[in-house]
Amino acid sequence: MPTQLVKCPTCKTTITISGEPGEKINLTCPQCNQKGVFTVPKDINGRTMASSSTAIDVKGLIKTYNHFSAVNNVSFSVKKGEIFGFLGPNGAGKTTTIKSILDLTHADSGTITINGINVQTHGKEAKKYIGYMPEKVSFYDNLTALQNLSFYAEIKHASKEECIHLIEELGLGDAGKKRVGKFSKGMVQRLGMARAILGSPPILILDEPSGGLDPRGVVLIRDKILEMKKKGTTIFVSSHILSEIQEICDRVGIINKGVLVAQDTVEGLSKKLNLKPQITVTIDAMSTKVENAVKTLPGVDSVKTHGNTLEIICDGAMKAKVILAISTAGGNIQNIQSKEPSLEDVFMRYTEA
């Protein structure tokens, strides 16, 4: 909720208030007890007093479909210039949240602002800031890639040269004159990214941009996202390719069954969950003696065996002691691998059934 400082008209004490634009708030000055009513201002464009460092602000978003709660009281904010990863299993409510941010679906309740502008009341103005790549990218099949982009360029006041350049940059150079109806899913996806960044919008919203892309395409989109961030663009990206997100995101939000269950940096979330590294040790021949030697060590959380391989989760400081215990118990070590907690681990923990 936006906050604002007001001065008591009697004793001039500064009072912090918070409320929605247009809301009337009954105030009592803590210094002189003067009572009064203050109306939270709203400028003619619906701009609120939200922090100027916030690009997307979602407060208490609720969306139900025939009594089914698709998004349940979700709140988060995306800071200007950051890459925010929005993660969740299939059906978690990612697309519904994104469609609500774009006012493409009517939220039951909640307030959404883009650069401080209320999307529900001033959608046209708010959406000027956004480049959007939907989950299901579609174009006019009987038009070429260039004709399609040129159509959107007119709406976004971008030039035909920019369209040609983007088609080239997204690796579609040869296909620019081809009808989109003849494109593969990955090619349509690339063109969808070109459309989203056309006109260099200050905010990019990408709903599963890597869907249907080959590995080269995935890298291309990731590099494009990083390039846009360097230019100062704010990026909100939903994805199921967690390794990708881990590499590029400043912060992540995890949604599960319509509820936002976590919001932080990947490192911050790992710490909160007290996630520990996993060591995988392969030995010549598995024995109960080796297994028990590891299981009984303090600081070892779990031990799983698969054939001659042990998967051990333990405190970082215990790694050397674990190896020593295996060896002392007669395990002839063939291979050791150590894996630090990943976004996937964080994701799995927060989305457990």
Ligand X SMILES: Nc1ncnc2c1ncn2[C@@H]1O[C@H](COP(=O)(O)OP(=O)(O)O)[C@@H](O)[C@H]1O
Give residue 70's identity as a one-letter amino acid code. A
Angle (deg, nearest 10), helices 185-197 and 145-155? 20
Bridge pairing between strands 278-283 and 333-339: antiparallel
Q: How far is the CB of 105 from ligand X (least distance, A)?
A: 8
User: Which residue, chain included where needed, has tokens 């459309």?
Assistant: 195
How far apart CA 71 and CA 63 sit, in angstroms, is 5
Distance of CA 196 to the CA centre of its chain: 17
Q: Is 341 helix (H, G, I), strand (E, B) or coil?
A: coil
Nearer to ligand X, 183 or 347 (CB): 347
Q: Is 293 helix (H, G, I), strand (E, B) or coil?
A: helix
Cβ-based neighbours of 253, under 8 Å, separated by 6 or more:
76, 84, 85, 86, 87, 260, 262, 263
Partner whose footprint covers residue 192, from ligand X, Mg ion, none (CB < 5 to 8 Å by kind): none
Q: How far is the CB of 208 from Mg ion (least distance, A)?
A: 6
Q: How far is the CB of 61 from Mg ion (least distance, A)?
A: 15
Tokens of 341: 């907690």
Q: Is 206 helix (H, G, I), strand (E, B) or coil?
A: strand
How far apart CA 226 and CA 104 sit, in angstroms, is 27
Partner whose footprint covers residue 93, from Mg ion, ligand X, none (CB < 5 to 8 Å by kind): ligand X
Stretch that binds Mg ion, among 94-102, 116-124, 309-317, 319-327 (CB under 5 A): 94-102
Nearer to ligand X, 211 or 217 (CB): 211
Nearer to ligand X, 116 or 192 (CB): 192
Q: How far is the CB of 95 from Mg ion (least distance, A)?
A: 3
Q: How far is the CB of 39 from Mg ion (least distance, A)?
A: 39
Partner whose footprint covers residue 16, from Mg ion, ligand X, none (CB < 5 to 8 Å by kind): none
Stretch that binds Mg ion, among 92-100, 147-155, 223-231, 321-329 (CB under 5 A): 92-100
How far apart CA 40 and CA 221 sit, in angstroms, is 42
Stretch that binds Mg ion, among 13-21, 30-38, 86-94, 304-312 (CB under 5 A): 86-94
Using CB under 6 A as the criterion, which residues of the chain lie in contact with ligand X when the complex forms?
A: 65, 70, 88, 90-96
**Residue 210 within binding range of Mg ion, rule CB under 5 A:** no
How far apart CA 261 and CA 39 sit, in angstroms, is 34
Q: How far is the CB of 287 from ligand X (least distance, A)?
A: 46
Cβ-based neighbours of 179, under 8 Å, separated by 6 or more:
141, 142, 143, 144
Q: How far is the CB of 71 from ligand X (least distance, A)?
A: 7
Nearer to ligand X, 70 or 187 (CB): 70
Question: 314: closest CA among 285, 338, 347?
Answer: 338
**Residue 95 within binding range of Mg ion, rule CB under 5 A:** yes
**Residue 263 within binding range of Mg ion, rule CB under 5 A:** no
Show contacts with Mg ion in window 107-146 (CB under 5 A).
Answer: 135
How far apart CA 241 and CA 238 sit, in angstroms, is 9
Nearer to ligand X, 149 or 260 (CB): 260
Nearer to ligand X, 69 or 308 (CB): 69
Stretch that binds Mg ion, among 87-95, 106-114, 213-221, 343-351 (CB under 5 A): 87-95
Cβ-based neighbours of 310, under 8 Å, separated by 6 or more:
280, 281, 282, 283, 286, 290, 291, 294, 303, 304, 326
Please state, in angstroms and as integers, the Cα–Cα distance from residue 203 to each residue in 32, 132, 198, 199, 284, following that order. Answer: 45, 9, 12, 11, 55
Nearer to ligand X, 94 or 222 (CB): 94
Partner whose footprint covers residue 96, from Mg ion, ligand X, none (CB < 5 to 8 Å by kind): ligand X
Partner whose footprint covers residue 251, from Mg ion, ligand X, none (CB < 5 to 8 Å by kind): none
**Residue 239 within binding range of Mg ion, rule CB under 5 A:** no
How far apart CA 180 and CA 151 sit, in angstroms, is 13
Return residues touching Mg ion (CB under 5 A). 94-95, 135
